[in-house]
Amino acid sequence: MASTPPVILILGSGPNIGQHVARAFAAKGYKVALASRSLKEEDSNADQVHISADLSDPHSVKGIFSKVKASLGLPSVVVYNGEHVPHGSLLSKSTDTLEASAGAPNNPADPLSIPLADFSRDLHVNTTSAFVAAQQAALSFDRLPDHRSKTFIYTGNILNETTIASLLDGGVGKSATAHIMRSAAAAYSDKGFKYAFPSLPLAVLKLTKRRFYYADERKADGTPAYSKISGEAHGKFYVELAEHKSQGPWQQTFVKDVGYRHFPAA
């Protein structure tokens, strides 16, 4: 009996990173589920499912996973690539920076002037929905056979290490989610996560491994990629992460055509 193909779910499937990641995994035999506000579900086909989703609503994330399970099966790789970019902003005018941007730019001389509604919305997209996605991914991974990848990748940037005056709320979100990825990577690494099934004796434990990463593309000198963000490089690198047999460093700084490279904290 032929095994079923693996499934990747990409939350936030813009034209650069999201689409290149989708193509890279499809080339490896994955069925692909894409979720974003701009997608039309009627454009789905047997190998690629489109889900209309607003990641500013964390309560919607569980439903996304339910749709993926019903249409393709449980995802063994989940990529969180969600960002809020306000229409008309400098960030929204570049498809290269769209997915790796950091939310609504604020007045750099007055960062505390951000309206609460904007701050809350961007935090939901950058962190709260990512947290729910990581929760749901972990639940999916527990139900998959051992040979599946069980990898969660969050598309980050340098804002968890440094400040950019006009990107306060983005920095808050990236920093918070970097902490989530670091904690999850430590807890669910190759030592596994032991738990008892409620219906079985407490002595019956399952050992499962899950991998969590915060990915951040840099230039060769360690500075942010900014407008040089490469969707193709993300696709290639994310496939490599998913094929790792063990948890690597939780913070995956990488350079196009080079791969992982450790940089001192900014």
For residue 227, the 8-state DSSP code is G
Identity of the residue numbered 128: T
The rounded distance, in Å, linking the Cα atoms of 222 and 219 is 5
Three-state secondary structure call for residue 120: helix
CB 56 within 8 A of CB 124: yes
Residue 174 annotated as catalytic: yes
CA 2 to chain centre: 30
Three-state secondary structure call for residue 258: coil
The rounded distance, in Å, linking the Cα atoms of 74 and 134 is 14
- The token duo for 112 is 């505390």
| Catalytic residue chosen out of the listed positions 150, 174, 219, 256 | 174
The rounded distance, in Å, linking the Cα atoms of 119 and 169 is 6
Catalytic residue set: 174
